[in-house]
A and B are shown apart, each in its own frame.
Chain A
Amino acid sequence: MSTTLATLATHASALVSSITGEPRLRRRLLELGLVPGVSVKLLRRAPMGDPLVIQVRGYDLSLRRAEAALVEVQS
């Protein structure tokens, strides 16, 4: 099923399928290791639901829902 990182359930894992969005931000998300095929896990959401913490390539990255919505994943 195709969805984005923003709507992934907490503690769920998925594979990145593509990154959308404005080119500079998109490039940075890719550089941080979110390339197609990599496995990501949604670790937790902040107390008010935003931002999120994901685990990718063995480290914890925090990003807002707006950025997470640019990361399409396949679960």
Chain B
Amino acid sequence: MIRIALAGNPNAGKTTIFNGLTGLRQKIANYPGITVEKKMGRCQMGDTEVEVLDLPGTYSLVPASPDEAVTSAVLKGERSDTPAPDVVVAVVDASTLARGLFLVSQVMELGRPVVVALNMTDIAERRGRSVDAEALARHLGVPVVPLVGNRKEGIGLLLETVTKAVVPPAPTWKRTEDADPDLAEIAGRYAWVDGVAAACVRPGPPHITSSERIDHILLHPAFGFATFALIMAGLFVTLFTLATPLMDLCEGGITALGGWLTSGMADGDLKSLISDGIFAGVGGVVVFVPQIALLFLFLALLEDSGYLARAAFLMDRVLHRVGLHGKSFIPLLSSFACAIPGILSARTIEAPRERFATILVAPLMSCSARLPVYALAIAAFFGSWAPWAQGLLMLGLYVLGIVVAFLVAWVAMKIRGRQGTSPLLLELPAYKVPQPSLVVSQVWHGTSAFLTRAGSIILALSIAIWAITTYPKPHADDLANAESRFEAAWKAPTGVSPEEVATQREDAQGRFIAQAALEHSIAGRLGHALEPVIAPLGFDWKIGVGLVGAFAAREVFVSTLGIVYAVGDPGDDTADLQAAIRADTHADGTPIWTMATAASLLVWFVLAMQCISTTAVVRRETGSWAWALGQLVGMNVIAWLASFITYQVLR
């Protein structure tokens, strides 16, 4: 077996070559103790097995970020968890040849066999600079394999060359006379690089590239933001309109499957655990998959086309002002679907401070799990408003989250000071048509990361929430109470068949018993116990029970409230629940739910950290309980204060 490692600049096309070599025989894990991804794969070359390691992109073997430090350490054989490679494949983008060769000059000094994979020769040619691979190989003293990144051709040749690679002669660069050691070294290397490049690049006529023409519009001082806003709005609308039917389909499928599996079982705790605990939990995870897969699809398309770097460029001014980074844009955008993929994608921010700040505020973006709660409260209490005013209110909730996120990030920056913020040094790669294979693998890896890192937590929480809403079981006299309340409330519908009356009667009776059981359970008692804390926000114990349920996932609030109000799980049609909460009164006859309560509840859902799965992911990604718990407590304190003010002002 031989081990090869791919090293190269960011955007040099390493991942394409990695995918070309390994197909889907890949494994993505973390380097122990740090959140840098370790991408490994295997392939076969005749009888020899080849293990391929895709190293994080780097500009130099003198690292400037944790990612680059991994590349440097692995290549030098300094990481105990990763054996040093037998052969280094230096991936060089022909269109940015000099910068790539700078890294090659360092790789050639490692004392390991080196092969240069010359990528994107087509883009270089279009830019009027075709690279002569044979001349390059002669001048470097290293085999050079030209590849057009998105085609299979060349991959076989690359493998063949790798098996025959030998340790190259050291490059013949000389330090310059400069007194500064860094300058003397780097200027010396670039002088050598320029000599090599001059000997093997056939310059064509200089011409305006299509990338420049596209940037002329997309980064235009006036139209730049307009097109940016248009692209993002389009992405958002598509994300929600395309995902919703798919999500309903997933949820329906899982529920039906659970129903079918338990249909032969006797009613009881086991059936309830399977259908209301496990299947509801699996459904709660699976329901997010279409949207998250779509999100990763859009991100992959934007990234691979080259626009994502431009988006970071356009947003840097605003984000940098509040202590974030242009690259924070991607995690924040993702968090509108779900904070978990958002926090996972914060890995692309090399700067540790800005990365932590991004993770800190990402859950303040209104995720799709909050949407059902927003929709319920707006429909029930602002339903008399004109549709455009309701839409504006909804938009206002999203804006509130963003504003508070920026405020929190800004305060965090003020506390820690500007010292140690990271520069923006961002390459804007040439625009290109996204490669399907690259996009597919990104969607696959992103979605499976969500399922493995969040899925198990959401499932465990769903089962825990099922347990506390089920146990302890109500006593006989609780049930008798529920029965008598039901008899008092029951009005037989008129004008329907006797069978229909009987069915409706049984349904209604079941809802009263479910309500009594929930009130008697741990969750019901927690709701009561929470009342002193949440009463100043205008919430009673019933909302408290809903909030307890929301810890599994925010949208569970709606179904829990449905049970508390004895209208059953409302699903998509919340009309009955809306009527029930509007009609609910305190003992003295004053309504519990007013517009102030609804507004306070909305503010709470925008700002509160209720999602334990997110807290668990933050703990993993920051490696620190202090960060995760600090965020949990801090967001809930802010949410409590904001809801308190909202309720007290509006009541």
Contact = CB atoms under 8 A, between A and B. Distances in A.
B355 interface: no
Contact of A27 (B182, B320, B427): B182
A40 to B, nearest CB: 13
Contact of B127 (A19, A29, A58): A58
Contacts of B309: 62
Interface string A19-46: 1000111111111110110100001111
A62 B427 CA distance: 6
A51 B99 contact: no
Contacts of B429: 59-60
A51 B325 CA distance: 12
Nearest to B313: A62
Contact of B186 (A31, A50, A59, A66): A31
B426 A61 contact: yes
B99 A32 contact: yes
Which residue, of A26, A36, A57, has the highest number of chain B Cβ atoms within 10 A?
Answer: A57
Given A28-B64, A51-B313, A59 B427 contact: yes
Contacts of B98: 33, 57-58
A5 interface: no
A55 to B, nearest CB: 9
A15 interface: no
A30 B183 contact: yes
A53 interface: yes
A11 to B, nearest CB: 11
Interface string B93-136: 00111110010000000000000000000000001010000000
B190 A46 contact: no
A15 to B, nearest CB: 14
B224 interface: yes
A47 B223 CA distance: 9
Bin chain B's interface residue count: 35 or more
Contacts of B59: 28, 31-32
Nearest to A30: B186
Contacts of A12: none
A30 B423 CA distance: 14
Nearest to B127: A58
Contact of B129 (A28, A58, A64): A58
B129 to A, nearest CB: 7
B222 interface: yes
Contacts of A64: 316, 320, 423-424
From B95, B99, B220, residue with most partner A Cβ within 10 Å = B99
A61 B425 contact: yes
B221 interface: yes
B423 A59 contact: no
Which secondary structure dominates where chain A touches chain B? mixed
B316 A60 contact: no
B225 interface: yes
A26 B183 CA distance: 9
Given A59-B427, A67-B423, A67-B424, A31 B225 contact: no
Contacts of A1: none
Nearest to B201: A58
Contacts of B129: 58
Contacts of B62: 27, 31
B106 to A, nearest CB: 10
B64 A44 contact: no
Contact of A47 (B95, B96, B182, B225): B225
Contacts of A47: 219-222, 224-225, 314
Nearest to B211: A60
Contacts of A59: 95-96, 99, 427, 429
A35 B320 CA distance: 27
B187 A32 contact: no
A33 B183 contact: no
Contacts of A25: 423
A9 interface: no
Interface string B73-101: 00000000000000000000001111100
B621 interface: no
A60 B211 CA distance: 10
Contacts of A46: 219, 224, 313-314, 316-317
B60 A60 contact: no
Nearest to B318: A48
A28 B95 CA distance: 20
Nearest to B191: A35
Given A46-B314, A64-B316, A30 B187 contact: yes
Given A59-B95, A59-B427, A64-B316, 14 more contacts: A25-B423, A27-B62, A27-B64, A28-B59, A28-B64, A30-B186, A32-B59, A43-B212, A44-B215, A46-B316, A57-B99, A60-B211, A62-B313, A62-B425
21 contacts: A24-B64, A27-B62, A27-B186, A28-B59, A28-B64, A33-B98, A33-B190, A35-B183, A36-B187, A38-B190, A46-B224, A46-B316, A47-B220, A47-B221, A47-B222, A50-B316, A51-B424, A57-B99, A59-B429, A62-B309, A62-B425
The 6 tightest CB contacts between A and B, nearest first, are A60-B428, A30-B186, A59-B96, A31-B60, A62-B426, A57-B98
